[in-house]
Structure 1
């Protein structure tokens, strides 16, 4: 039976990041036929060699995010914030960016939280250098993107925000950043910026900036007071808010960007955008942009060239789930997880909707195979945020990591089977098109319930095993170290563009080893509000050599027939030689 819901009086409401229909399915069981019921307990995992440990304290990272929780239950309190890896000092190891909120009226917050940068000291320890680096500013940050937009060899940092503007920090190359937001025109003022990505949309050799925007939320005056069944204040559903538009900013050089959202066709579509992934899905040499929306149709922006896009979400079957229901899309990633040269898109969703797992059938067509792949059922009772494909055990098959956490802090009082804090999920790729969830057998981080939001992955200790960085809503950040044994062989490739953008973002990297052909795209964006290691990482099992091919955005192709594995390499565009 249908349930009447008024935006100012939401019965059994559960907040931002939620699909309205999924919420109704949980509030009134039986109203959504075919929707599986949440499981009561997590089944035991099969034996796993994958093993992660929590290295946060040992690494010296002392951080707790501020979401400025208030009795008013402002929607912004539930949604952030993200994190990122960046080698800001070019010393060859990954440093850590952690994003923070800002004081809200009624929060009682007496301190001024700031954004954080932790320098990797190369010995398993990190040092807080936020103040001296110049990024210790106070604003309500959401997501971040890392990329060398001015091609000077130093990675820059963009941070999206809400209740003000985002910030663009240009890396000076001396350990400090300059805030060039106002001069560059990248602030995105008056909008709720979420995930963001650097992308060379016109393939002119410099990086443009794409910023996803959530709902119309110019100030706290745009928040809507909502109440649960017993009259207590609660976070509103996103359906109570108006959709916004994404922004595309063209890099004009000299710290100057021009908003081309309207002329590019991006602004023609309105949605409630949270996740962004960029890759060339049809392999025509132009980067395309997928946007995961929350309770509105998701977008696939097909690049037509000339900085023009057409939206193909519906025709590609990526706009809705298989029942025609919009995603509650938060986190997103894309990669060739089956080693057959075609992409798979993962989208995390609200409790009951299950994680979407779209396999590419042909260039413009995808199918959600979440049940057949073994992804759907284990995710049923979780509310997913950050997600990423990474080869945890270096066997040549990319696994899937998803971090979870509810958005309603009192959900356990309303729904006995629900929990505010939730465990992460780790799916091992079996190499036959299916996955099995192995979290409980993969180390202490997977047995700890947290309210996760951001997820970034990267080999921060340079031992050849991909690690993870996780943020929580109003809580600590976690740095997980991958200690999987046996330590199989691997290959890590850092790209340096010459005709293409300096980071090589958009380059397609193919590796052949041990009878497998693996393909990945060097990308900015993906996951939820976070920035991951841009080095192309491949697990190769026991193979001692591999064949490497890199197709650059410029069209240049570099081929190296025999590459030694268990090494980190650097490739400069057009040289055909590894350093």
Structure 2
């Protein structure tokens, strides 16, 4: 006899009910942890016997810059609403969405693409439905969505990424959805052609984020797509599945543990406009992961792009590209990636959302030129800052520096999403911005989620301090933030931010911070296959020392590798130049292992071409 007798229910609901006991046990443990955490707020958190994160970095530092960010979205014409209509307690609604910057019309400034969803699930389009493309006209933005043909009004949009995948010189657009994904090929005349099915990259799952890189160095940029969970909205009634997460009040239908993970895709670019799916063959499909973000980046400095994948309530993956090993290509057979997650110390099984790539080694006098990782997490799970450590002739390992740099306790109250490493005050040190927004429901009105403030984490040189209270009105408000994308959209030399607000209007935060520090911009005029994942190294010298033994300082950026959350930063590397310093040398290490070097480059903006030289 069936355990459920003659009651007709779906397999999905049956699975959820069967797992209820286990979830309730875990809930009890988690509730105890949260209650302890709340009690610990009244204790001395510096007591080493407690083994908890160091105290919050909210204390005032007299040297905090007078940051100034102004939300100019409405003023400049970036007008839309994410997910119009009331919230219906759907995991799809609560997860999205992202946004991406790109120069789609080739005029030199950055346009903004905002991903959307059609409103209440099952209700179709509705007012302001569809994604929006805002063209940057210099002094304001113009909505050119309909003319460009990139609205996709009926899709449940998740993320966006920008790349010239076909090598014709125009930036194309890939959009992930709950359902079929879209590949918009830029025709170069202000319009796009949707070619995902023709190219073989449409998919049929719940896709979240995508990243591009030429992993096999064949001259064609490849595509990795993150898939989340096997979610079937018709299998259950969301109104009947209440309070499964105990003190959090989270329904089973909003808990990703209730759903099976879905394997990811790696699409190898054939070079003829089509792609071949090779994820399983190369060991990067991650069938047990619930993936929300990924990046192609050379993590170990061997000039081959590796792959890092953020998973929600599943183990994160660091896949090492083995093509650089001696004799790897001689067999003629596909060479799988190697899972080095546990070995490197990055097998994090928390709820991982956002991912940023940067170099923080200068904070501990260990600048090795290898990328470090910043990962945002769910509530009560502190964000993570992993510093790379490379020993001679040994593997690259990662040390969790979250507590040392005071990034722990401050993030325990928040659910972090999109993020970016950027130098917001141009002092030569990389800061961090984070879009926060809880997935816990408002106890007074469960149709609403609890809004949270953004983080602006200022790099003091020895630690990070949340400088949001010094950054203007926009950082003092609370939002349901999701995707975050950085760009100097007004070309004034500082980093601005666009933030997707779940079920709200986007933020366009113009950086109006006043500083005597300078800036230096780099753009790569090169095919995506060699540009994506390229390392840009900038060496500065003090103005008072002109000889070869002058004191120097080095900064790094990685092209198209700082992933955020389902979003894309502008294709430009912006460096801060502290007062009384100047640029001595610029070196680009391309994704194919070759180098381009400029000694004492002149001006504030340079374009670097790939010449294939070593």
TM-score norm. by structure 2 comes to 0.83
Greater Rg over alpha carbons, structure: 2
Structure-to-structure mapping, 1:7-156, within 5 angstroms: 7-8=16-17, 25-26=33-34, 47-66=64-83, 69-71=86-88, 73-105=89-121, 110-111=126-127, 113-123=129-139, 125-138=140-153, 139-156=155-172
Cα deviation code 1:409-442 (max 9, x no counterpart): 325779xxx981100111111223x111111011
**Structure-1 separation of matches of 2:254 and 2:609:** 50
**Structure-1 separation of matches of 2:608 and 2:28:** 47
TM-align CA RMSD: 3.1
Task: Report the equivalent of 2:273.
Answer: 255
Task: Report the equivalent of 2:187.
Answer: 172
Task: Report the equivalent of 2:227.
Answer: 213
Task: Report the equivalent of 1:323.
Answer: none
**Structure-2 separation of matches of 1:249 and 1:51:** 42
Query: How much has 1:572 moved relative to structure 2?
Result: 1.0
**Structure-2 separation of matches of 1:222 and 1:203:** 46
Structure-to-structure mapping, 1:483-562, within 5 angstroms: 483-497=512-526, 501=529, 504-514=531-541, 515-524=552-561, 526-542=563-579, 543-562=581-600
Task: Report the equivalent of 1:420.
Answer: 450
Q: Is the 8 A contact 1:10 1:227 kept in 2?
A: no
Cα deviation code 1:53-76 (max 9, x no counterpart): 1111221111110166554x2211
Task: Report the equivalent of 1:449.
Answer: 478
CA pair 24-493 structure 1, distance change in 2 beyond 3 A: farther
**Structure-2 separation of matches of 1:411 and 1:194:** 28
Cα deviation code 1:479-528 (max 9, x no counterpart): 01111111421111111225x727x1121111100321112211256110
Query: How much has 1:272 moved relative to structure 2?
Result: 0.8
Q: Is the 8 A contact 1:243 1:272 kept in 2?
A: yes
Residue 329 (structure 1) aligned to one of 340, 352, 359? 352
Asked if 1:359 corresponds to 2:387, the answer is yes
Query: How much has 1:269 moved relative to structure 2?
Result: 4.0
Cα deviation code 1:380-417 (max 9, x no counterpart): 21111111100101111110111100113325779xxx
Asked if 1:186 corresponds to 2:186, the answer is no
Q: Is the 8 A contact 1:246 1:267 kept in 2?
A: yes
Asked if 1:569 corresponds to 2:606, the answer is yes
Q: Is the 8 A contact 1:68 1:107 kept in 2?
A: no
**Structure-2 separation of matches of 1:313 and 1:106:** 39
Residue 274 (structure 1) aligned to one of 273, 292, 297? 292
Task: Report the equivalent of 2:10.
Answer: none
Structure 1 unaligned blocks of 5 or more? 1-5, 321-325
**Structure-2 separation of matches of 1:34 and 1:181:** 53
Query: How much has 1:342 moved relative to structure 2?
Result: 3.1
Query: How much has 1:556 moved relative to structure 2?
Result: 2.3
Q: How many residues align?
A: 551
Structure-to-structure mapping, 1:254-403, within 5 angstroms: 254-267=272-285, 269-305=287-323, 308-320=336-348, 326-339=349-362, 340=367, 341-362=369-390, 363-403=395-435
CA pair 22-539 structure 1, distance change in 2 beyond 3 A: farther
**Structure-1 separation of matches of 2:150 and 2:337:** 34
Task: Name the SS of the counterpart of 1:26 in structure 2.
Answer: helix
Q: Is the 8 A contact 2:539 2:583 kept in 1?
A: no
Cα deviation code 1:265-311 (max 9, x no counterpart): 11254201112122111111111111111111110011112552111
**Structure-1 separation of matches of 2:184 and 2:343:** 38
Q: Is the 8 A contact 1:227 1:233 kept in 2?
A: yes
Q: Is the 8 A contact 2:116 2:129 kept in 1?
A: yes
CA pair 233-276 structure 1, distance change in 2 beyond 3 A: closer
Task: Name the SS of the counterpart of 1:314 in structure 2.
Answer: helix
CA pair 488-98 structure 1, distance change in 2 beyond 3 A: same
- Between 1:541-550 and 1:87-96, the stretch displaced more is 541-550
Query: How much has 1:454 moved relative to structure 2?
Result: 0.4
Q: Is the 8 A contact 2:84 2:126 kept in 1?
A: no
CA pair 344-70 structure 1, distance change in 2 beyond 3 A: same
Task: Name the SS of the counterpart of 1:533 in structure 2.
Answer: coil
TM-score norm. by structure 1 comes to 0.88
Q: Is the 8 A contact 1:196 1:276 kept in 2?
A: yes
Q: Is the 8 A contact 2:420 2:562 kept in 1?
A: no
CA pair 186-485 structure 1, distance change in 2 beyond 3 A: same
**Structure-2 separation of matches of 1:358 and 1:130:** 39
Task: Report the equivalent of 2:45.
Answer: none
Query: How much has 1:27 moved relative to structure 2?
Result: 6.5
